Amino acid sequence: MQRSYFRLPLLLVLLGATLVALAQGNRYPMLDMISQKVIQKYQTSTCQQIVANKAAPPKDMEKRAVEMLRQDPQLRAQFLDKVAAPIVNKLFECGLIP
């Protein structure tokens, strides 16, 4: 159930996943841009919007982005290092995690 709270940021990552994949050797600058969009989306979303987005089914682009993060541990670590604290903080403020 808690995994579904991360659909919103993953959805945003998916929007940029194609750009990240196209950047090939220079993925990290694009990752920075995508991470900032994810963080901004969480910071500007209401708690009700976050809860509503968790029910949305994953899209194909989201699935591809998750697979890309699974295949590249360095990319995954960079992404999680950037987005984890702001997302968890927002979920805590919304009472979605203890």
pLDDT the model gives residue 12: 56
Map tokens 């900032």 to a residue. 36
Domain presence at residue 13: yes
2-51: per-residue pLDDT in tens?
555 656 565 555 555 544 554 545 556 778 888 888 899 899 999 999 99
Backbone angles phi, psi at 51, to 5 degrees: -65, -40
Q: Average pLDDT, stretch 73-82?
A: 91
Question: Residue 77, class by beta-carbon neighbours within 10 Å (0-12 exposed, 13-18 middle, 19+ buried)?
Answer: exposed
- What pLDDT is stored for residue 56 in this prediction? 82
Say if 85 falls within a structural domain. yes
Asked if residue 78 is part of any domain, the answer here is: yes
- What phi and psi values does residue 56 have, to the nearest 5 degrees? -70, 140
What is the CB neighbour count within 10 angstroms for residue 8? Answer: 21
Question: Is residue 98 assigned to a domain?
Answer: no
Highest mean pLDDT range out of 30-44, 56-70, 81-95? 81-95
In this predicted structure, what is the pLDDT of residue 47?
Answer: 94
Boundaries of domain holding 25: 2-93
Number of domains in the chain: 1
Q: Has residue 44 been placed in a domain?
A: yes
